[in-house]
Amino acid sequence: MATRIGAFKIRELENFFVPILQNCKNIVELKSIHARVIKYSLSQSNFLVTKMVDVCDKSEDLGYASLLFNQVKEPNGYLYNAMIRAYTHNEGYTSAILFYKEMLRLKDPERENPIFPDRFTFPFVIKSCSGLVCYNLGKQIHAHLCKFGPKSNITMENALIDMYTKCESLLGAHRVFEGMVERDAISWNSIISGHVGVGQMRKARALFDSMPYRTIVSWTAMISGYTRFGSYADALDVFRQMQIVGVKPDEISIISVLPACAQLGALEVGKWIHIYCDRNGLLRKTSICNALMEMYSKCGCIGQACQLFDQMCKRDVISWSTVIRGLANHGKAREAIEMFGRMKQANIEPNGITFLGLLSACAHAGFWNEGLAYFDSMSKDYHIEPEVEHYGSLVDILGRAGHLNQALDVIEKMPMKPDSKIWGSLLSSCRTHSNLDIAIIAMEHLEELEPDDTGNYVLLSNIYADLGKWDGVSRMRKLIKSKSMKKTPGSSLIDINNVVQEFVSWDDSKPFSRDIFWLLEVLTSHRDTTDPRIIEIMPEDGSECLG
């Protein structure tokens, strides 16, 4: 039948199937259309098979796409590109690369119809290299692009920047970026995100400040980077600048900035975000509600966190775990345990974070029997293998309850190496319960893990002092002096009138530092607070703060 159909008739039939395939909604419909294609002897039509592969791509059925491809005796470049595109879209990166390698074998100019990679091939092949995080393969593809592809193509150059940054080769990314004839927002955002990803926030900020125009992605990259690497004040500063220039926060930027609010205690900013989310219908998103609850909890407003939890339309395991940990951290152990009961009634499977909250609640309340039961329940009932944090919580529970030998036994039987936090927790419990023998054991490990931490030596010195062993106190003091150890100065952060102020011990760089130190002396010595200088510094209406 195929021989009786002329070229014009074939094109006419192909055009007939195009709108049908464009309206195809699922694989069941596609199979029916495929049957009609076979009936009209068009199963070897690269044009129609490419269209059918595109349907498979959208339906995420790569098995059927491969079946279609394998039935074509002489696939052309368009069909190869469709297969590479489909596998890349559906994270089948290795298969996409294999199709590309097969395509390269068909580029021989002596073939009747040689196939060369083109501008439709490379963006997806490069993206597959990014997905595989394979730097060497990416470099090879870049070389092929220089050989076969166009000299300048912004889509492919952006894909290369993304590939190099994901492979943490910022040198390669910058070479592409600086060689671009034209750059768009994607180019800038990709190079900035690359520096953010490896913690080079100064370089990221310099690029951000030099951008000709910024998108919400640019602002969010900076906010999330500052939050991730602990520069919370900078995160809030960028968030405020974003509002000043009129860029509306989206879900990702809000989730990125809320941890900074929590760490700084910037409750007013957090409340503003809550109101903004409410007005813009964002409270329907579970992830935003979870971030708001975490913020309220860390800012000491567990009541608002619980209220928001009760108002949520949909709760996931993170929602339950967040409120349980919040209640535990605020000393509401029974409420945390009751919340876990509600969680089980709602048929929500707990995770490791949930049990960290429960164990913390038991530690603060002294419920050591319940803590042991929850720890055993993790693996027994929910098949969750305890991690080092769970063992640390268990040691804390037993140590606070005075079961120091049992706590030491847990540490010695851990399947992983105990960290300094665990030994530090045990040492602290030894101070509470005046157990010198186990304290010395804990200190031996802490000397290895944290040899320069003054606090550990001071703690052991205090244990010696509590027991009246002054020779031990003297020995600890000499050890501290011999190692020339210095204690890290204490610091605190406070948000005043939307400006974050950091105060460090003995820091005299603040404009009102002399007044601050003087007022501290007044407060610590219980002097007469009717001194006119105090009244001048502290307005009666409480409307202003120092500095």
The CATH number that domain 209-314 falls under is: 1.25.40
Q: By the 8 A CB rule, do 261 and 300 touch?
A: no
Q: What angle do CA 341, 358, 382 make, to 5 degrees?
A: 70
For residue 503, the SS3 value is strand
The Cα–Cα gap between 479 and 385 comes to: 40
In the chain, which stretches have pLDDT less than 70?
1-8, 110, 483-512, 524-547
pLDDT for the residue numbered 533: 40
The Cα–Cα gap between 274 and 269 comes to: 9
How far the first Cα of the chain sits from its last, in Å, is 90
List helix spans (H) across 23-74: 27-39, 46-59, 62-70
Domain with CATH 1.25.40 in the chain: 209-314
Tens of pLDDT, residue by residue over 137-167, are 999 999 999 888 777 789 999 999 999 999 9
pLDDT for the residue numbered 3: 44
The structure tokens listed for 119 are 């501008």
Helix (H) or strand (E) holding 519: helix 513-525
Which pairs count as long-range contacts for 184-190, CB under 8 Å and 24+ apart, including other chains? 184/154, 184/158, 185/211, 185/213, 185/214, 185/215, 185/217, 185/218, 186/158, 187/154, 187/157, 187/158, 187/161, 188/218, 189/215, 189/217, 189/218, 189/221, 190/158, 190/161, 190/162, 190/165
The Cα–Cα gap between 141 and 458 comes to: 58
Tens of pLDDT, residue by residue over 455-482, are 888 999 999 998 899 988 898 888 888 7
